[in-house]
Amino acid sequence: MHGRRHLSKLDAGADPLAADCDLETALHKAAAQGHAEAVRLLLSRGPAAATAVDKAGRMPAQRATGAAIAAFASRPPPPMSSPSASALATGQPGEQARMGGPS
């Protein structure tokens, strides 16, 4: 059900990278709520959202619970050269996320 709701919004032109005031994308929220179908859909429509970092320095995969964990596990990890990828690998926010800009 959640996936279909996101699909209609994406088909209507919604930006999968749009973020709220906490810099959380729809992917952050779907992951945190364990909505695997929505996570897979959002990743297919906006793969760059996988590396979006929220205000707390977390990427969507770090917020995943329940069935959403498996949706991320089936994807290849992001390149390790980016600060966001380092955060995913270590569980710690990258320097860029902590400092609010490039290091």
User: With the C-alpha atoms ordered 50, 63, 54, 13, is the resulting torsion angle positive or negative?
Assistant: positive
Q: Report the chain (103 residues): mean pLDDT per 10 consecutive residues.
A: 61 84 95 94 90 95 94 72 47 44 47
**pTM (two decimals):** 0.67
Instruction: Please tell me the predicted confidence (pLDDT) of residue 45.
Output: 86
Instruction: Please tell me the predicted confidence (pLDDT) of residue 80.
Output: 52
Distance, in Å, from the CA atom of 11 to the CA atom of 64, rounded to the nearest integer, reads 24
Structural domains in the chain, CATH included, are: 2-99 (1.25.40.20)
Distance, in Å, from the CA atom of 28 to the CA atom of 65, rounded to the nearest integer, reads 11
Instruction: Please tell me the predicted confidence (pLDDT) of residue 85.
Output: 46
